Structure 1
């Protein structure tokens, strides 16, 4: 029986409070205080009533009550000044004012803890935790036959839970909920936990080698969405554990997002909510066409109209505005850049601990040529969520414009390793190709651009990168074919257009290298 508010889950059956999947330590008396205030949230509760209900009528002084309220506020990231969730009414009492989700009404399910007139009300089915897809990770099975390796199997699953809780698009069950089903089959665990997706796996150690396999199961339809394995030398077992957990998390979140978007596009709900608008916007954002970018902005703007507190929708709306200036026909003028920045700052104001929000702000700062600030934001994003591949790519790209190619290249590779099937994979490769162009490594620029043009949803820019690299290499036959493919996608492509669209590149030498390669390949200076 769960009660949800903000990013907290109050589990009445287990008497636990979790925040973004991590358990919050509460003394029993403080837990009872929270549960009672949530139950009676429609009214102000005075101190005499709290003494009767929480302290069972024992004599307690006001300072004791205030002390427990202060502890509770700290646990909820609240305080006496902001009173975001618990409000004090002078000489009257206190009231819980947070918005509760999950279908729990006053005097309803929480009555199991505090029955009305001695009647215990049956608990309802566990409510779905809001619109976010719910995920549980159960402990991996140790197939090695060595009980010593049990800690590794449990450690990978625990690390994976920690990483997935950093993805704000997912609701992740806390460890103590899923680890209670350690020996259960995936089917039994899915039934017991009532989640949309389940992650389970195995480890097998032999002769100094480790194989870790996992699968992501869609519990609603009963099939595996994703199944992969990783082989590693044992070496430093903690480094191996961290590496594998990051890679699995990097694969899972984009895959669930893809399935959510595909479901909405194919079966649009009759009554669209902010969450639905957000994912429909994201489905268009990943398609690199001018029309889709406009659609993405429209859906995302509607999402924030429906939910003005929706930080992720603000973040990706800002990103869509940025992309409209780089990839499409929106003019890269100060007003447009300022709008993107203001939207991103609003996202940060709403949730400054969301990696995707920090990424979006970092991209705006990049196109405003504030590279140092962008690097700080991207670095923070990778700290908040080490499995967010797009943030690693953004960090690498910001280093490129400062001329630090040596630091950028492994970061690009890390992004590609984390999410090899990411919907923005073509962009990861494209930015890496552009970096190699600026570094005058034309052979590798051509190689990465050639990979990018074969990736799904590819934009015309990687075709231009490939052509610029070939122009410097002097590959005649390849140039003719590459030029034809570029002009098929962007018939009016020219060198002046290139300089205008690369407005975020501060280094004149980098721009000259790029444009010189295009000229050598036969691209005209101006539109015909």
Structure 2
């Protein structure tokens, strides 16, 4: 029996193979009809595999929805009857009658990256039906969409992003008027070379980033914008709750770059502004600035000196340096060790071409900090890389003091080393400079929630949802703020509603278990824990706490040892939680002291964590708080 059966039209085999390869790389066994040998009783084999598979992915395309796709439609019906149906869209098509109730997961244009949000959404759906992968491969995102080691060691909350079309229905955008809102869809790559897609996508992201710096303009984030890349302007605007859509295309040749851009009214579909640029390749940066300024004018945003400076802050005039940075950003979206090393090297190359390229320094700082928190080989390397990241971010700020990305990078580095006061200061500055940045909003909201400022955390997370309604980040931050505020029932209800209405935006069952344990609902908590990977540190902590609370303390050391084998010192804060629940205060405080030495970001929530409650009356707890010196 295979974990996953893939149903598709034979003519789409080449397009389906990257999905099969990615699922197998994640450790799942996959059956598709390429495995039928000569002379096999193929109808019987297909039916047998279809009936036995834990999960059935049905790939909808222009071919499979048409009259010639009846075999795929029959397989989809069988999958629905067995409740193992996961629909995937290769093309922007209307599903056959009877298959439209469940939102299909978009995969058009996907290049095979396992950490890309669209694949992660599919992986999350497969995990719920098929359970943990049976092989030894480790998910690029940690198995459930959260990078477990990254969360422990203090990596950016942005690392947990998973997106899927349809999330906008749960939290409709409300804070900005339609006229003052825009989504920049990925620009089409018309160069005839798929490897150049990074450049057309990068142009759109550069425009998105520039427009997000303009006060009064709501700019939808990258994740949501890319999720609707195949929709027409009116459909995309409706899904994202915006009044305007900026779209376009890029065609490159050795001698020319042609960029076409159109600003479209999202309600009427009428073009508000358009321009075609035919320039030499080195003029791409000038074109971007011109597009951003024309869009601002078309939306009646007056461009004074500050706004023009904001659009161009931290940039470069060297087109080759810009290309290298765009390649770096594309590479790091995969999130694995090799990808981050590649991103750092490409950012270095961009800096070598333009030593004053502040945005290259800022992104290198973010990449280095992410790498340090996730892949450092021991404490000395962790300390060295974090120091390198800090110095790199400070160089970016010396070059461009008003570059929001540099302040954001510095805030993230301060956060992971638990220097909370300076982190909050830098988040505030970054938000002032880029008020429409979902990444800044989510990361700032996350630290505020951990520190107990749930009101502000929820407000900022709602803004992030408003700006990037198809990304999981802000939903997770919203949940985390409720959890930190001890609003446990609300946190559970929020997660259940999200999973019920848009399941691909929910991927933290093991943390829902924490809220249930706090309410004494241990059986419900255990049901959620079974949905997480067996080596997930939050699952292990909750399992140990449940054992301690049900008179099975003798079984807890085995759980702690399993955590040590997987995480070593990186889970020091989690050991403290378990020891506190066991009543072993000496070991709990020893673990907390170690957590402080390695700057375990779990300490951010020590004042709000119910598992630490048994320690609060001990003088050593007050001493720890004084040492950490977190702001009130």
| TM-score of the superposed pair, with normalisation by structure 2 | 0.40
The structure with more radius of gyration? 1
Q: Which protein has greater RCO, CA pairs closer than 8 Å, 6+ apart?
A: 2
Give 1 or 2: higher helix fraction.
Answer: 2
| TM-score of the superposed pair, with normalisation by structure 1 | 0.46
